[in-house]
Chain A
C-alpha cells in the first residue's frame, strides 16, 4: 500500500489545496455540525448540502471516481452501524437519516483530508491545543500504518512463494499465524521506536 493512501491528492494543484489547513478544518467541522443538526422533518436540506459538497469536489480537481470509490469503501461500516435502527419503530426513516448524514460527513472529511497534507492537519490540532499525546499517537499512526502494511505484504509474498497447496483451511491457518507474527513484530518495533524517541530527549 502506498504511503499517501490517506491524503493522496493533498499536494496536487487546485483552488482548495491552496486554502490554509486551519480554515479548511474549521469549515469542515462546521459543515459536519450543520449536517448533524438538520432535523429529520427537514430532510430536503440535505440536497443543497450535497450540491455544495459536489461543487467543492469539482473545484478540488481530484478525480470524482476517487471520491466515489473511497465512499464505497467506507459505506459498509456506516450501514453496519445503522442497520440496528431498522429493528425499532419508524426504523427505515432513522436508517435513511443516519446513512445520509454519515455519507455527507464522510464526503466532507474526504474533501478535507485529500486537499490538506496530514502533517498540516496535525499542526492545526496543535494550534488548537489538542492533547499532545493524542497528536503524537495520530502522527505515529500515520507514519507506521503503511510500514506495517508493507511488512504484511512482504510476509504474504514470502508465504506465497513457498506455498504449494491451496487448501482453504491451510490458507486461513497461515493467515492467522501471520497476524500473530505481525503483532509480535509491531510490538518489538514499538519498543525500538520508543528507544529512538527517548534517545532524542522524549519524556
Chain B
C-alpha cells in the first residue's frame, strides 16, 4: 500500500547557509496519527513546511517528499496543497481575512468551488469546531482558543486528506487543549503533529519520531518513545506526566 507521506533523505538549509535538516527519512500510513517531537530549533516547523511545498522556495529537481506516491514538484504543487492542510503555530498569521466567514471560505474559493457550495462548507466546518454563529466576527476579537478553532475550520474547509499541525496547543489553556484533542480525535484524516506537548502526542499519535539538530534520532511506537526517559532527557524533553500518573479527565 502506498504510504500517505514518504520522505527520503530530506536536506534543507536557509540562505544563511546554516543546515536545518539533514537526511530526514520516514513514512506515514493513511489514517495514521504521527507525532514529531524534539527540542526548540530541532527543525520540526521547517520540516512541516516542506510537506505542502511551502519550503523550499524552488522545488528541487530530485524530489525527496512523496504524497500518496506523488512527488512534490512545481507541476503537482496545487494538487499537493489540496491534499495536505497545514495548521500553523500562530493563529494570527493564519487568520488573514476581515471576518471568520471569509477566512474559512478562503481555501474553497481558491480551489474554484461555487459560492453556494462554499456557504455550505463554511457552515459545516464551523459547526464541526463548535463555532456556528461566528461568521461575521472579526478574528482580532476572538480568544486564542477560538482563533485556533477557526484556523482548523479554515484548513478543514479545504477537505485535506492529510492534516499537518504545528504546535496546535501552544498558548491554549488546559480546557482549550482538552477540547482540541477531543476535536482532533473526531477528524478521520491522516495527521502529522509536531509539538512539545507530549501529552497531546501521547493521546493522539500511534507512532512518533524524535527530531534533534535536523535529523531523526529515534522512531517508534509513541508509548515506547515517550517512556524512554534517557532518550527524552538527552534531547531536551521529559517523560510526560500522563505516563507517571493519570488525571481523572484523561483516564476516562
Contact = CB atoms under 8 A, between A and B. Distances in A.
A119 B99 contact: yes
A76 B1 CA distance: 69
A interface SS class: helix
Contacts of A95: none
Interface residues of A, number: 25
Interface stretch (A33-41, A66-74, A138-146, A167-175): A138-146
Contacts of B106: 197, 200-202
Interface string A100-138: 000000000000000001110010000000000000000
B49 interface: yes
Contact of B98 (A143, A189, A197, A201): A143
A203 B88 CA distance: 19
Contacts of A140: 96
Most B Cβ at <10 Å: residue of A4, A117, A198, A200: A200
Nearest to B99: A119
Contact of A203 (B98, B110, B138): B110
A28 interface: no
Looking at A3, A189, A198, A201, the one whose CB has the most chain B CB atoms below 10 A away is A201
A59 B158 CA distance: 44
A49 interface: no
Contacts of A93: none
A202 B52 CA distance: 13
Contacts of A196: 86, 88, 93-94, 96
Contacts, number: 75
A71 B98 CA distance: 25
Given A119-B98, A192-B88, A193-B96, A198 B140 contact: no
Contacts of A147: 92, 140
A195 interface: yes
A142 B102 CA distance: 14
A143 B81 contact: no
A191 B110 CA distance: 19
B148 to A, nearest CB: 13
A200 B95 CA distance: 11
A199 interface: yes
Contact of B97 (A139, A189, A203): A139
Contacts of B141: 3
Contacts of B95: 143
Interface in A151-203: 189, 192-193, 195-203
A200 B54 contact: no
Contact of B81 (A146, A193, A201): A201
Given A119-B102, A146-B140, A192-B88, A197 B81 contact: no
A4 B99 CA distance: 12
Nearest to B90: A192
B215 interface: no
A142 B94 CA distance: 15
A117 to B, nearest CB: 8
B54 A189 contact: no
B140 A200 contact: no
Contact of A118 (B85, B98, B139): B98
A119 B52 CA distance: 30
B158 A143 contact: no
Contacts of B158: 200-201
Contacts of A143: 95-98, 139-140
Interface of B: 49, 52, 54, 78, 81-82, 85-86, 88, 90, 92-99, 102, 106-107, 110-111, 136, 138-141, 154-155, 158
Top 8 A-B pairs ranked by shortest CB distance?
Answer: A201-B110, A3-B140, A200-B107, A192-B93, A119-B98, A196-B94, A199-B86, A195-B54
